[in-house]
Amino acid sequence: MNIFIQYGLAIYLLPLAAFLIQIFWGRRLPRKGDWVSIGAVLLTLVLSTAMLASLLLDLNPDFHQEASFTWLDLGRFQIRVGFLMDTVTVIMLFVVALISSASHIFSIKYMEGDPAYSRYYAYLSLFTFSMNGIVLSNNLLLLYVSWELVGLSSYLLIGFWYEKPSAALAGMKAFLTNRVGDIGFFIGILLMFTATGSFLYRDMFAGVAAGTIAGTTLTLAGIGLFMGAVGKSSQVPLHIWLPDAMEGPTPVSALMHAATMVAAGVFMMVRFFPILTPDALLVVAYIGGITALFASLIAITQTDIKKVLAYSTVSQLGYMILAVGTGAYVAAFFHLVTHAVFKSNLFYGSGSVIHAMHHGLERTHRHDLDPQDMRNMGGLKAKLPLTYWSMVASTLAIAGIPFFSGFLSKDQILAGTLAFAEHHPVHFLLPVFGFGAALITAFYMTRLIFLTFHQEPRHPEVFAQIQRAPFEMALPLTILGTGSLYVFYTLPSVNPFGGEGWFQRLVEARDSLAGGPAADWMAEQMHHAHLPTMILSIAVALAGLVLGWLMYGSRRISAEALARRFPRLHDLSYHKFYVDELYAKLLYDPLLKLADFVGWLDWDWYDKKIIDGFGRWTTRIARWVGTADYDGLDQGLVDGVGRTLRAVGGGMQRLQTGRIQNYILLATAGVIIILLSQVF
Amino acid sequence: MQTHILSWLIWLPVAGIVAMMFVPRERKDIIKVIAAVATGLQTWVAVILLLNYDSSLGTFQFLEKMDWIPAFHIHYSLGVDGLSLPMVLLTPLLSFLAVFVSWNIDRATKGYFALFLLLDTGMIGVFLALDFFLFYVFWEVMLLPMYFLIGMWGGPQREYAAIKFFLYTLVGSVLMLVAMLALYFTCGQTFDFITLSQTAPEQLQGVTWWGLSAIRVIWVLLFIGFAIKVPIFPLHTWLPLAHVEAPTAISVILAGILLKMGLYGMLRINYGFLPEAVWWFAGTLAVLGLINVIWGALCALAQKDLKKLVAYSSINHMGYALLGMAAVVAAGAMQGENVQAAQAGLAGAVFQMFNHGTISAMLFILVGVVYDRAHHREIEGFGGLAKPMPIYAGVTMVAFFAGLGLPGMSGFVSEFLSFVGAFPVFKVIVILSTLGILLNAAYFLRAYLKIFFGPLNEKYATIPEINGRELFTVVPLAVITIGLGVFPHLFLNLVKNTIDVVITQVVQLGNLF
């Protein structure tokens, strides 16, 4: 077993060990055992950094190591599972370890004093373990298993404060919504396995290349697998769980619901890009594009700081999915990486704000105020300077401003959509979705910054009590805020516009095996579209920033007046286009009603009326037969049979042990009759 | 070498009953200890059996054979293979744990445990018998104690429930009896399982009764008889009622072991003796599996009583096993000889039988724990129990997630294999059945949310935590569930060779078109 696989195994098992130690003995350990989980995740960070460093020395995009073993062997039916180590795996492992470490450290202060502190860290470790499983897997089975375990840890962490009904409900909603997607995922797996006879990606790719699975079946399999991503990466129409997931502790939101878990769907699509047919890709592109625009429209009017970020995440994930669909799948992965850093930083920043607000509210005994509502904030720049600057850096990144990381990856995605639309003018909407969302993103992020950090404090007494972030929170904010700068993604090049660097050298696009675009062709098209895209995207981002500044900075345009002027539009956005209400009306309620009906049908109608009806009916016949033939037949036999038959119905009301003997008598009589029938 | 290990398994509980007879009825402690020792020894013997079982063979092992009623060629004949071994291991284990679940039975304790041990003998006898008549006798032996255990120690509607259980099963028994005699007379007057599996497929070939194929007539008779036990829709309505009314330990046995007899009977007898009809019936079986999955899940979703929810979940879970069983036809020429799929499906079905045994046992024990404390089982009547009972909440979470087929738990592997196996042949049915994995999660998580999460219901602020005895009854099952979820080969290696025997039987002797 070579060294990368060994590292992978260690990365896989360390958090699992931490989980087991924490869940069983955590409460009895010093510091409630947080150092176990933190130690484990830091070790994975060290190991993945080492691997990434070794890749950076080589810059070999074809790096590939794989190891499998037979997990199940039924003779002909075999399941092999294992790890796949390539550049994508290693980069993703590093991202997960980095964000996860940040989350573990940030939580020390954020979760301080929680009665279930060790359980919290246990769940974090469980998540890290499951997420690494998704990244490391070289087969659909381990992928699916880890996929569901990520769902479990998400369920546990969203509902961590289970006494709060909304949190408990949000956890359940997340799990169930994900399961809807997983049904499609599962069917995709079944189609793939049935065609290729293996769960290994390698065999799956070979099968597609050889045409073992092709045409509509392959399209359906691809869409099935994509449904899993729709659930996990919170795409329309399964996006409803992610905003509710903000009920969980904020470091959890930063880790899972911004950077890693929700990126798993994108990660999977990046892995599977070569086997997606053009038809499947088109579905992917439209779902992603619609999600990007739709979610950003909702983010405009939200007042809860985490909700804004949540919808922003949904929108950005839509971007990545859109990129996969248009063939720019390396750009999707690039955006996944940059987004993981700046978006988790935005969440840590919001966590720092909420933490400060929470303590401020406690000291002033203002329990009526919501610490997450931006309408209660304002002017925090003076109190939380580090948080402010860190968040500004990430805001500029997400808005797509040059010199920041998001600009690089967003630019490539938009170039991909533009190139795609150039060749398929019918699909002109795809770049419209992309650029539209870019404009709105810049706008609502500016709004967030101004509402939170600028303007005058809305509750001066609370404002006076706000204290700056402790070291455990400042550290991740510093590191990740700095990580929003472009240069970390372009080294050794320092050109902020070139889109060249270690990432592009390590991750190379591969040709589609299913009739999708070839890598070289795609690269050329994107190169052509590069310049117009850049000009357009900078213009769009600046327009968003300026509009935000006009409305919330200089307040030359009144947001309130606009809302009053277009109440319908404002309500639609504020109420998230009423999707939850719609689902409740069209899906949940009918399902529960159907269940109630089936339950009634089963128990009250079928059993009571039909089954018991047999009993009553038999009793009636028995009485009739008994009366009519009483004198005609042998008394004992009639008595016996009659009583037995009556027992059939009569027993429904009463129990009498004597009837069992009648049953045996009847059975014996049956045997005799059959024996006789054979003789004659 | 002739061993009598299987006889030990069968007669140890009876020895316990005999020992109990010498104990005065008020010495309840001694009676309980005797029951625990008898089932404990039986479990130990089962472990010895496991250690000596040669899993490289798919055929019967530890054979015992004696004349019993020579005039009718009836033998006392026992043996174990990969189909029965899992249940032969599970029966003593669950009986042993169920004794501890029953520790608080104070009314007519002696009668209860005597009947309980008799039930144990009947159950394990069914799995070990290699003679149809003996099988039938054990089948009936198990029925009577079950009837009394529900009818005398059950809940408020126990008598209604017991008689309903009894009548349903009676119908099944009578049909099975007719089928047994029909086989006896048409296939050379023998009850021997091994002989029948060789002769019946050929002897019955082309035989018609009243214009109907004899094979199909016998198949249907047997199928209905076994389907009632499984239970398969629409013959299932005794189950929720019996579960709700039965005492906890009896629900454990009922769900853990009794339901499996139906599937075991089908695999052993229907598949073994009437392989030709498997081809004719597999489609129906898959459809019935689908109905069980969806119907059971929808009913479970509608329940307000936690125990009834778990009862309906059994119907739901048995549906997956039926799908897996139907998958055997994938190995046929008509389906492109996909032996892979047949292996996966049958392995999934047999594994699901075992897993449902451990998982549903856990679920029923846990329902009993909260019922003992709160004296009700209304899902809506709790709230926030995770606070006063964190360990109970944790264990229940393990059981619920096992029930909803979470990967890493054994139930996932068996459901997965069943789906993978059935998919190549029954695509649409399997796709519709996957809705079950959503509904499963919905009904379990909904119940969990209402019982454990949310603000604490003040009525239960001081509800006592799960105690050591109760934990002792659940933890071994949880360990098995997770252990086999991660290392399923430990189980599947025991059964895979017998599965090949079943596939060969169905394909070679059944494909005599």
Would you call A74 and B163 a contact, using CB atoms and an 8 Å cutoff?
no
Residue B69 three-state SS: strand
Do A408 and A545 belong together in one domain?
yes
pLDDT given for residue A641 in this prediction = 60
Of A511-525, B231-245, B437-451, the poorest mean pLDDT is in A511-525
Q: Which are the contacts of A626, defined by CB distance < 8 A and separation ≥ 6?
A: A638, A642, A645, A646
Both tokens assigned to A454: 């600028």
> What is the rounded average pLDDT of the residues B441-459?
91
Do A244 and A105 belong together in one domain?
no
Residues B381-427 have pLDDT tens digits of 888 899 899 999 999 999 999 999 999 999 999 999 999 999 998 99
**B65 reaches A (C-beta below 8 A):** no
Test mutation, A142, A602, A617, A659, chain B, max B CBs within 10 A: A602
Residue A576 pLDDT class (50, 70, 90 cuts): confident
> What is the rounded average pLDDT of the residues A623-641?
63
Do A213 and A302 belong together in one domain?
yes
pLDDT given for residue B488 in this prediction = 93
Distance of CA B288 to the CA centre of its chain: 18
Residues of B in contact with A667 (CB under 8 A): 173-174, 177
Residue A498 three-state SS: coil
Residues 420-479 of B with CB under 8 A from A: 420, 423-424, 430-431, 434-435, 437-438, 441-442, 445-446, 449, 452-456
Closest-approach residue (CA) in chain B for A182: B438
Does the pLDDT at position A648 exceed 70?
Answer: no
ipTM above 0.95, yes or no: no
Of B95-99, B135-139, B332-336, B456-460, the poorest mean pLDDT is in B332-336
The pLDDT > 90 percentage for chain A reads 43
Residues of A in contact with B423 (CB under 8 A): 190, 193-194
**A183 reaches B (C-beta below 8 A):** yes
Q: What is the pTM of this model?
A: 0.90
Test mutation, B150, B239, B445, chain A, max A CBs within 10 A: B445
Does the pLDDT at position B362 exceed 50?
Answer: yes
Higher pLDDT, A440 or A28: A440
Do A119 and A191 belong together in one domain?
no
pLDDT given for residue A658 in this prediction = 46
pLDDT given for residue A586 in this prediction = 86
Distance CA A267, CA A263 (A): 6
Residues A104-138 have pLDDT tens digits of 998 988 888 888 899 999 999 999 999 999 999 99
> What is the rounded average pLDDT of the residues A338-348?
92
Would you call A598 and B344 a contact, using CB atoms and an 8 Å cutoff?
no
**Of the partner residues B177, B441, B453, the one whose CB lies closest to the CB of residue A168:** B453
Of A166-175, A515-524, B310-319, the poorest mean pLDDT is in A515-524
**B163 reaches A (C-beta below 8 A):** yes
Q: Domain end: A574, A608, A624, which one?
A: A574
pLDDT given for residue A332 in this prediction = 93
The DSSP 8-state label assigned to residue B212 in this structure reads E
Tell me the average pLDDT of chain A.
Answer: 86
Does the pLDDT at position A383 exceed 90?
Answer: no
Would you call B424 and A144 a contact, using CB atoms and an 8 Å cutoff?
no
Residues 603-622 of A with CB under 8 A from B: 603, 606-607, 611, 615
Residues of B in contact with A598 (CB under 8 A): 295, 298-299, 302
Distance CA A327, CA A331 (A): 9
Residues A198-237 have pLDDT tens digits of 899 999 999 999 888 888 999 999 999 999 999 999 998 9
Would you call A596 and B302 a contact, using CB atoms and an 8 Å cutoff?
yes
Higher pLDDT, A309 or A459: A309
Residue B511 pLDDT class (50, 70, 90 cuts): low
Test mutation, B56, B152, B167, B486, chain A, max A CBs within 10 A: B167
Count contacts between A and B (CB, < 8 Å): 154
Q: Which are the contacts of B359, defined by CB distance < 8 A and separation ≥ 6?
A: B317, B399, B402, B403, B409, B410, B411, B477, B481
pLDDT given for residue A656 in this prediction = 43
Of A295-304, A493-502, A622-631, B151-160, the poorest mean pLDDT is in A622-631
Closest-approach residue (CA) in chain B for A611: B237
Residues of B in contact with A179 (CB under 8 A): 437-438, 441
DSSP B384-407: -TTTT-HHHHHHHHHHHHHHTT-T
pLDDT given for residue A638 in this prediction = 53
Distance of CA A323 to the CA centre of its chain: 18
Residues of B in contact with A148 (CB under 8 A): 406-407, 412
Would you call B423 and A190 a contact, using CB atoms and an 8 Å cutoff?
yes
Residue B369 pLDDT class (50, 70, 90 cuts): very high
Do A231 and A115 belong together in one domain?
no
Domain map (residue ranges) of chain B: 280-513
Q: Show the domain range for A358.
A: 139-574
> What is the rounded average pLDDT of the residues A258-275?
91
pLDDT given for residue A657 in this prediction = 46
**Of the partner residues A75, A596, A663, the one whose CB lies closest to the CB of residue B170:** A663
Residue B97 pLDDT class (50, 70, 90 cuts): very high
Residues 59-118 of A with CB under 8 A from B: 71-77
pLDDT given for residue B185 in this prediction = 85
Do A674 and A641 belong together in one domain?
yes
Distance CA B414, CA B355 (A): 8
Min Cα separation B260/chain A (Å) = 22
Angle (nearest 5°) at CA A438 between A564 and A530? 155
> What is the rounded average pLDDT of the residues A352-373?
86
Query: Which one-letter amino acid corresponds to residue B423?
Result: F
Distance CA B150, CA B238 (A): 12
**B225 reaches A (C-beta below 8 A):** no
> What is the rounded average pLDDT of the residues B292-315?
92
> What is the rounded average pLDDT of the residues B163-192?
87
Higher pLDDT, B135 or A489: B135
**B419 reaches A (C-beta below 8 A):** yes
**A589 reaches B (C-beta below 8 A):** no
Of A648-662, B87-101, B210-224, the poorest mean pLDDT is in A648-662
pLDDT given for residue A1 in this prediction = 62
Query: Which one-letter amino acid corresponds to residue A341?
Result: V
Q: Domain end: A574, A606, A623, which one?
A: A574
Please give the tally of structural domains in chain A.
3
Do A526 and A660 belong together in one domain?
no
> What is the rounded average pLDDT of the residues A310-326?
93
Angle (nearest 5°) at CA A433 between A429 and A438? 150
Q: Domain end: A574, A606, A635, which one?
A: A574
Distance CA B343, CA B328 (A): 7
CB–CB of B386/B334 below 8 Å? no
Would you call B181 and A671 a contact, using CB atoms and an 8 Å cutoff?
yes
Distance CA B158, CA B387 (A): 34
Test mutation, B434, B448, B451, B507, chain A, max A CBs within 10 A: B434
**Of the partner residues A597, A660, A674, the one whose CB lies closest to the CB of residue B178:** A674
Would you call A72 and B489 a contact, using CB atoms and an 8 Å cutoff?
yes
Higher pLDDT, B333 or B117: B117
Does the pLDDT at position A364 exceed 90?
Answer: no
Does the pLDDT at position A449 exceed 80?
Answer: yes
Does the pLDDT at position A321 exceed 90?
Answer: yes
Helix (H) or strand (E) holding B446: helix B435-452
Residue A637 pLDDT class (50, 70, 90 cuts): low
Does the pLDDT at position B473 exceed 90?
Answer: yes
Do A388 and A240 belong together in one domain?
yes
